[in-house]
Amino acid sequence: MLYQRSSALFAEAQKYIPGGVNSPVRAFKAVGGDPIFVKKAKGAYLYDEDDNRLIDYIASWGPLILGHAHESVINAVIEKAKLGTSFGMPTEIETQLAQLAVSMVPNIDKIRFVNSGTEACMSAVRLARGYTGKDKIIKFAGCYHGHSDSFLIQAGSGAVTFGSPNSPGVTKGTAKDTLLAIYNDIESVRALVAANKGEIATVIIEPVAGNMGCIVPTDEFIKGLRELCTQEGILLLFDEVMTGFRLGKGGAQEALGIDADIVCFGKVIGGGLPVGAFAAKTEIMSHLAPEGPVYQAGTLSGNPLAMAAGLAMLTELNNKPEVFESLAKKTAYLHEGLDSVLKEKGVPYQINRFGSMISVHFTENPVVDFDSSAKGNNETFKKYFHGMLENGIYLPPSAFESYFLNDALTYADIDETVAALKKVNL
């Protein structure tokens, strides 16, 4: 396939936009080459500026669970836009989406809408600190919760040390309140809690990780985390920006059978428009302004276009819960196909999967945390990514990202994907 116009557009973009992109992973730095510029999309397919058709396995990084340009979502946005795009005042549709979301998700009473997953996680951590009166948080290496200062922290020299900033602009003062644990290692969490007794407000986690590839928590780990937080008076915060309304109507809480104290949402809840949200029981949410002392605000929060898209999307999912089983079956079918081809190719690999999330890692050992994910062979991944792209398959341009399937994908599309892999020289 030729991508001449995409390359020309990227060269032009770099003159005016840092790195030529508005989110770093889009720049193809991890895989090399120039990014693909999209012109339009429909169902399971992307159409780029060179008029290539690509089978899409990122679904805008998760939101488009029913496929691109889904009719009910598009129509809802069009009709709402005719009435105005933003008011800075309350609208009925905010309550309608809130009511539906609360009815679908276990263990929440109230929800506050914001404009992104980053904003949701940042606000939820502030709420947890305000509610508990404690300053420190625990996060996990490899889990991404947006680009707020508190989350851009790397490991110290040991399990009980403070983290240190891994981005210029993040102060050491901010970093000292963020403690870093190891995913799927409950003992690393216990060590941090013991070393910081009575000082930890919340543990924030992707309940099924998607930013080091798809990594599934063990029962021992996720149940142990819930028990530890309950025992120590620590709020368990699920970052369900990726998993919310994707792994089931009730998200990861429902799929894993674990109740979190605060839950963050994004992606699917906005139907493809910029949106985020955080939710909890009334006791915790009542600490938010204007009802309580924890301040959080946003001019465009509850934007009517985003609310319309989200309401249409969640209505579809609520009325047709079989979509989650359909997606899980398609993902399992893709897993089986990729597995059969990769076995024939004789390269070391691991495939991780949960629901409609899946990732391929070119390594001999199981991928259970950030360190094991980082040991994957990136040169093999680059060949894999570009080989699939040349055959019309668009995968995440990073070895550290989950695929997100959409239900517009057909079994014929998946067969075409597996056939494409057979042509790739690894």
| Cβ atoms within 10 Å of 287's Cβ, excluding its own | 17
pLDDT > 90? residue 173: no
**How far is Cα 395 from Cα 228, in angstroms, rounded to an integer?**
37
pTM of the model: 0.95
Q: What is the pLDDT of residue 330?
A: 98
Rounded to the nearest 5°, which phi and psi values hold at 393? Answer: -115, 120
pLDDT of res. 161: 39
Residues 10-25 have a mean pLDDT of 95
Reported as a pLDDT band with limits 50, 70 and 90, residue 167 is confident
Residue 156: is its pLDDT beyond 50? no
Q: What is the pLDDT of residue 114?
A: 98
Indicate the average pLDDT of the chain: 95
Render pLDDT for 231-286 as a digit per residue (tens, 0 to 9): 999 999 999 999 999 999 999 999 999 999 999 999 999 999 999 999 999 999 99
The predicted-structure confidence for 191-235, as pLDDT tens digits, reads as follows 999 999 999 999 999 999 999 999 999 999 999 999 999 999 999
Mean pLDDT of 136-154: 87
Contact assessment for residue 246 and residue 356, using Cβ atoms and an 8 Å cutoff: yes
- CA nearest to 50, candidates 13, 9, 5, 10: 5
CA atoms of 147 and 143, how far apart (whole Å): 12
The yes-or-no answer on residue 339 being catalytic is no
What the block records as the tokens of 285 is 């949410």
Give me the percent of the chain exceeding a pLDDT of 70: 97
Percentage of the chain lying above the pLDDT 90 cut: 91
The reported pLDDT for the residue numbered 165 is 67
- CATH C-level class of 4-69+321-422: alpha beta
- Note if 29 is an active site residue: no
Q: What is the DSSP string of 101-122?
A: HHHHSTT-SEEEEESSHHHHHH
Residue 144 bears catalytic tag: yes
Q: Which residue has the tokens 């399992």?
A: 332
List the domain boundaries for the chain.
4-69+321-422, 71-319
Measured CA to CA, the distance from residue 416 to residue 423 in angstroms comes to 11
Q: Residue 155: what pLDDT?
A: 45
Report, in this order, helix, strand and coil percent for the chain, each rounded to 5: 40, 15, 40
Tell me the per-residue pLDDT of 338-360, one tens digit each, with 9 for 90 and over. 999 999 999 999 999 999 999 99
Q: Where does 80-177 show beta strands of DSSP type E?
A: 110-114, 136-140, 153-154, 164-165
Out of 57, 144, 394, 403, the active site residue is 144
45 contact partners, CB below 8 Å, separation of at least 6: 53, 54, 55, 56, 68
Length of the chain as a residue count: 426
Residue from 139, 267, 330, 382 carrying the catalytic annotation: 267
* pLDDT(20) > 80: yes
pLDDT digits (tens, 9 = 90+) for 303-339: 999 999 999 999 999 999 999 999 999 999 999 999 9
For the 71-319 domain, the top CATH level (class) is alpha beta
pLDDT level of residue 302 (50, 70, 90 thresholds): very high
Given pLDDT bands bounded at 50, 70 and 90, which one contains residue 158?
very low
Of 146, 99, 155, the C-alpha closest to 123 is 146
The one catalytic residue among 56, 239, 369, 413:
239
